[in-house]
Amino acid sequence: MAFSWSKFRVRSVWLIAIPFFWLARPTPALLAAGAALALAGLCVRGWAAGTIHKNRELTTTGPYARTRNPLYLGSFFIGCGVALAGGHWLWPLLFVVFFGLVYRRTIAKEARHLTGLFPEGYARYSAAVPVFWPRLRAWRDGQADGSGFAWPQYRHNREWEASLGVLAAFALLVGKVVLS
């Protein structure tokens, strides 16, 4: 059986999640700040998921006109928000290191894949749009304005699962505050 980096990326979060929830010491203030950051991440991910048509077209509108990886940017905000709510400076630090190690390779692999699918378009796009941190002005490549967001696409990409995961994480953290 071949190693799947994608499956490792998704499943490896449990290496951190179990000790995190066991050792977390959230406070109401950190829960509020973390929830705000996670909500921002969910919004970014939702916008991206409702816009992208994976492997069918090179999506360069909506959040993709600002960063090539808005789904990962949203995941970063979600992870930082949950880690911040954990109540210790070590959690955000561990998350950022973990995220950098795992997603750097993921982003590079995805760029190679998109270069193969859309050689000319992706070369032009990647030269103009940053890999991760978004640009303030949306990049335009002769395309119509607007994000192209559609709820059916959001559902097709199963983005609602991220919302359920964030809700579950914060429910556990709130439970720790209530029970302590």
What average pLDDT does the segment 104-129 reach? 94
Is 115 inside a domain boundary? yes
Provide the percentage of residues in the chain whose pLDDT is more than 70: 90
Q: Burial letters for 95-110: b for 16+ Cβ neighbours within 10 Å, e otherwise?
A: beebbeebbeebeeeb
Range of the domain at 158: 26-132+148-179
Nearest to 41 by CA among 69, 79, 11: 79
Distance CA 109, CA 115 (A): 10
Q: 180: pLDDT confidence band, cut at 50, 70 and 90? A: confident
- Mean pLDDT score of the chain, rounded to an integer? 90
Q: What is the pLDDT of residue 2?
A: 60
pLDDT at 129 over 90: yes
146 vs 134, more confident = 134
In a domain, 106, yes or no: yes
pLDDT at 55: 86
Q: How confident is the model at residue 6 (pLDDT cuts 50, 70, 90)?
A: low
pLDDT at 34: 98
**pLDDT confidence band for 143 (50 / 70 / 90):** low
In a domain, 139, yes or no: no
Q: Is the pLDDT of residue 147 over 70?
A: no
* Residue 3 reports pLDDT greater than 60: no
Count: domains in the chain: 1
Does 26 score more than 60 pLDDT? yes
**Residue 14, pLDDT above cutoff 70:** yes
Contact 76, 40 (CB under 8 A): no
Least confident of 15-19, 33-37, 119-123: 15-19
